[in-house]
Amino acid sequence: MPITLHEDLPAYDILSREGVMVMSPGRAATQDIRPLRIALLNLMPKKIQTENQFARLIGATPLQIDLSLIRMSDHESKNTAADHLASFYRPFNEVAASGERFDGLIVTGAPIEHLPFEEVTYWDELRRVFDWSRSHVHSSFGVCWGGMAMAWHFHGLPKHTLVRKAFGCFRHQNLAPASPFLRGFSDDVLIPVSRWTEVRQDDIDARPALSTLLASEQVGPCLIEDRAQRMLFIFNHLEYDSGTLKEEYDRDVEAGKPINVPANYYPGDDPTQCPSNRWRSHAHLLYGNWINEIYQTTPFDLRDIGSNP
């Protein structure tokens, strides 16, 4: 089944060319089926790239997905054209005022991890998003900084600044093979990492509501779950394209910033070589499993979201 995207959205043509099934809203309206409504709160500067990455993953399941793009109400994006934002995004204030509900919410990362959460310019509104999600969203998924922010808001889970950036592709252990979110996962998983902060297992262990599903001996916890509140937090980047780490590395080199060659990414750790994608299958598994869990547990009537246990 396809993902529903506006036909003028760049992701529509990009995913179509890749073989992902996409459908216009007009065509979707003719089908006698309730699609899953997934909201993407996109905090990344390069919004189009991020749209494509997440739409590719959640659009690869057998279920019809209706993707809604949301932005912070007052924050001005300097890296995405204003007409793109005006055409395809709605500010959170407008979404909240509408009273609509969603089966799932993805909150992306943001390049602001050096700041304390409370110093982020849109932190107050983001806290409202998180609180709103408890009554208007069935299941939430926070990614990288977005996951750290959610875990801080709901559980007081602190983030810690690293001396050196965790940057590259690192092996992670599957700590919960019976988890429905890790269905089909190998025991050992390679995952892209790009961050200056971390959460620590001791802090997670001190919070009984949280459990760690994936972790690395080198870069720490990766995927944690709050089962009672139907929340997942992932601190690394299974959604990354093959060349995303290369783009980040080349950008910092060009700017003269100190940056290590991303570990275990280029063949022979040689940045003149073309990197290969060794995480794509697990990316599809994780997001496909999340979508399937939503489908199995969400109410048929969206108005019941927020009232179900």
Long-range contacts of 130-135 (CB under 8 A, 24+ apart): 130/154, 132/92, 132/96, 133/105, 134/229, 134/306, 135/305, 135/306
User: What is the spatial distance between Cα 59 and Cα 4, in angstroms, rounded to a whole number?
Assistant: 8
Q: Which residues of 72-84 are buried (b: 16+ CB within 10 A; e: fewer)?
A: bbebebeebeeeb
- Tell me if residue 144 is catalytic: yes
C-alpha to C-alpha distance for 256 and 261, rounded to whole angstroms:
14
Cβ-contact 1, 64 below 8 angstroms? yes
- The tokens for 62 are 């057998």
Q: Catalytic pick from 225, 239, 248, 293? A: 239
Per the residue annotation, which of 138, 144, 172, 198 is the catalytic one?
144
94 is catalytic: no
Pick the catalytic residue: 138, 172, 237, 282? 237
Whether 274 is catalytic: no
Rounded Cα–Cα distance for residues 240 and 192 (Å): 7
Quote the CA–CA distance of 84 and 239 in Å, as a whole number.
22
CA distance 177 to 205: 19
Catalytic residues: 144, 237, 239
